[in-house]
Structures are given as structure tokens and as C-alpha cells.
Structure 1
């Protein structure tokens, strides 16, 4: 089926990138996954509008297990959701929480794959950046603050890259969320998230480093075979 074919191509791209964890490979995988979804969006709609139209199922699926939800994962989930026709939200239970996505079945499956891969990629590059800071003699508290500045820049760079790709390829209408998904989200009456409690150092160098890494990718590299 078409949806399964899309999933297969995205999984192949992420597998190729994960074997070579560079900034360019990682960002290429995420952006190319968005491209595949967008390029096949109209075809998916055509299938849904055909005589063999299948029922649309709006699902809620968790992307993280219950525990402490890190601030940057909340922001990342919102970025991914926006670019894969879903909504993300925090589901709380007692003193724990988890990140969940709501959307059509195939869209949620893609969003969660991209989210998890992005988390691994960000953690890899953050760890490398923090190690550089430690080796340069920065104190522990400075490493923490500058690491958060780096993350803030990284997420901003990744978000901007997604938006530029959407604008460049005129994918705005393709990535519009299904009406059933919007209706489901509105019916949930979710409260707005509280401001992050993370501490930032306001270091422009760390932010710019993260921003550059978040936007960096090699557009000439063919990640997904037809």
C-alpha cells in the first residue's frame, strides 16, 4: 500500500543516516522524510477520495515513556508535528508526563519515527559540543547554560530549515492537517504549556553554533532511492 511504501522509504533514509551520525546526514534524513511525505501527500488524498476510500482513523500515540519531559523535547515535538500534519501534547499522570502525537494513523507513525531519530541526533551533537566546552576549561554550570543555548539555536535552525523547504517546494497546502485531526485536537481543550524552567546563558556563540548545526544539510546527497 502507498502509506506503507512511504514508511519504508523513510525508515531506509533514517537507517542510512544513523550509520553515519554527521550533522549533514542527520538533517538530510529528517528533511528528506518531510519531502517524501509532502511529495506523496496528494497521492494519499487521491487514494482516500477514490472508490476504495478507507476510513480515516485519528489516533493518539506516545513518543516517550512516562517520566520527566525535557524542555527541548517539548519544542522538538511541536516542530515535528507541524511538519507531519499532527499535533503534539504533553500527557500527564501523577508526577510524570509523556509526549504524545495526535493525527491520522500514517502521519503519526511518521512523526514519531522522525521525532525519535531527531532526539538521538540532537543528543549526539549536544554531547559532542559539551565535551568540547569541558576540554576548553568551562565550568560545569557554564557547560549546562551554554548547552541550553546551543539547543535553543539548534531547534530554531531546524524549524527554519523545514519552513524554507516547505516554501521552496510549495508544500503548504499538502501539509495542511486533516479536518478530523483539527476537530479532535480542539475537543481536547488542552492547556497552554508553561514556560520552560531551563536556565540559559545568553551565549550568542553557543546559539549560533546550534543554529548552524540545525540548518546544516547536504541537499545534493540522495538519501532515498526511488
Structure 2
């Protein structure tokens, strides 16, 4: 049995329990499509080789010095997938997720894809601003803040429409206990202020409200393969 295929389906099944109703439906449909295509059952996938119920830490590839918006983005994602976020110190701050293995994997995928989407959009906007002779200092931060607020709004709307999805967001008692037993040293100021790029902010907000991750997970079926190590 193809391990990468199993991992891909597992990620989709994890997303199918998301508080975002539309995301959950899309993820489940894509998971079912792969199950039928490869003649597998959900039971086979869930029982295959890997047990994702253990509590772990997943250190992401996302780090920051000045881009504190990445920390705010990670926090929103962690809260909406039943996990905690904290930082690993070094020359920069690296985002890490803590929770059930299947949940931290999803958090990591969502964070890395969201950051990629934000940076790609900002790159295009920055080019246009340069072309028109405008400064771009603070542009990235303002677009990102808009994106984060849009993403948060999307999660809240889905929870309001479907109260039962709120249960998915409740952190597992074992996760809470394990997190509370971690001895953290110090804290990091992640406050980010608006720099005045209203157009960038509102474009980011619109993009955040429409953000979807399910297509990224299944991208490898037709194009680039998404890879994610289950351990870090």
C-alpha cells in the first residue's frame, strides 16, 4: 500500500473534521474520490501502520524575526484545529505546534500553505507599488493582517452556522494537561500594528475569507507532490 497516498488521505480525513464546514465537505469529497480511485476503505486507511493519536510537537519550517504576523497566523490556525502554538528560539523564532499528531500535521500544512499564499500575493503587490513609485515598507504586514482577520472571520462564521463544529475545536484534555506541564522560558511580543496600506489590508481580508487548503493536499494527484514528514 502506498504510504504517501495513505498519508494524503489521512490529512484529508483530518480536515474533514474541521470547524470550517465548506473545507470539511471539500476535504471529505476529495478523500472519497481517492478511496474509490485506489479501491480503499476508510477503515483500511485509519488502521494502516500509523497511529495518529499520540501527543506530539511539530516544528514547522516557518520562522520570523520581523514578520510577527506569522505568529498571529499560526495562533489562529492552532486554535481552530485543537492545538497549541509556541516558538523555538534561535537566530529567529520558529513556530511549533503541540497537540494530537493528526491535528499538528494539519496545522503545519495549513500554516505553510497560508504563508506561501500571503508571500506570493505580496510579491505581486510590491511589484506594482514599485512600478508606481510608492514605498512598500509595511505592505506585507498590512496584507497579512487583513488575511488573518479574513481567515478568522471565515472560521467564526462557520462556527455560528454550525454549532456542532465548535466541539471539534475543544482541545483534548490530555493535550491541555501535557501542554501545561511544559516549562516555557520567557515570552515573545507578537503585537503587529497597521501601517496604513488600506487597499492591501482589504485585499488580504478578502483572500483570507476565501482561503482553502484541501486542493493543496491533493495537488500531487495532478501536479506537484506535497510532502510532509510525520516527525520532526
TM-score range normalised by the length of the shorter chain: 0.5 to 0.7
Match of residue 176 from structure 2: 182
Contact 2:86 2:95 in 1 (8 A): yes
Q: Whole-Å Cα distance in 1 between the matches of residues 162 and 71 of structure 2?
A: 27
Q: Structure 1 residues 10, 136: closer, same or farther in 2, change over 3 A?
A: farther
Establish whether residue 120 from structure 1 lines up as the match of residue 116 from structure 2: yes
**Unpaired runs of 5+ in structure 1?**
14-28, 38-53
Q: Structure 1 residues 68, 204: closer, same or farther in 2, change over 3 A?
A: closer
Establish whether residue 162 from structure 1 lines up as the match of residue 155 from structure 2: yes
Alpha-carbon distance, 1:195 to partner:
3.8
Match of residue 78 from structure 2: 81
Is the partner of 1:173 in helix, strand or coil? helix
User: Alpha-carbon deviations, 1:52-82, whole Å to 9, x = none?
Assistant: xx79411011012677473121111111111
Contact 2:143 2:202 in 1 (8 A): yes
Contact 1:31 1:162 in 2 (8 A): no
Contact 1:69 1:99 in 2 (8 A): no
User: Alpha-carbon deviations, 1:161-213, whole Å to 9, x = none?
Assistant: 122122222210122110111112222254443144x6642233332222122
Alpha-carbon distance, 1:111 to partner:
1.1
Return 200-209 or 151-160, whichever deviates more. 200-209
| One of 2, 23, 28 as aligned partner of 1:32 | 23
Establish whether residue 147 from structure 1 lines up as the match of residue 140 from structure 2: yes
Contact 1:30 1:118 in 2 (8 A): no
Establish whether residue 99 from structure 1 lines up as the match of residue 95 from structure 2: yes
User: Alpha-carbon deviations, 1:23-77, whole Å to 9, x = none?
Assistant: xxxxxx996259758xxxxxxxxxxxxxxxx794110110126774731211111
User: Alpha-carbon deviations, 1:133-183, whole Å to 9, x = none?
Assistant: 1222203xxx12233222211111111112212222221012211011111
Aligned residues: 185
Q: Structure 1 residues 73, 9: closer, same or farther in 2, change over 3 A?
A: same
Match of residue 209 from structure 2: 215
**Unpaired runs of 5+ in structure 2?**
1-5, 29-50, 219-232
Establish whether residue 63 from structure 1 lines up as the match of residue 60 from structure 2: yes
Q: Whole-Å Cα distance in 1 between the matches of residues 125 and 22 of structure 2?
A: 23
Match of residue 199 from structure 2: 205
Establish whether residue 193 from structure 1 lines up as the match of residue 184 from structure 2: no
TM (normalized to structure 1)? 0.67
TM (normalized to structure 2)? 0.66
Match of residue 43 from structure 2: none
Establish whether residue 133 from structure 1 lines up as the match of residue 129 from structure 2: yes
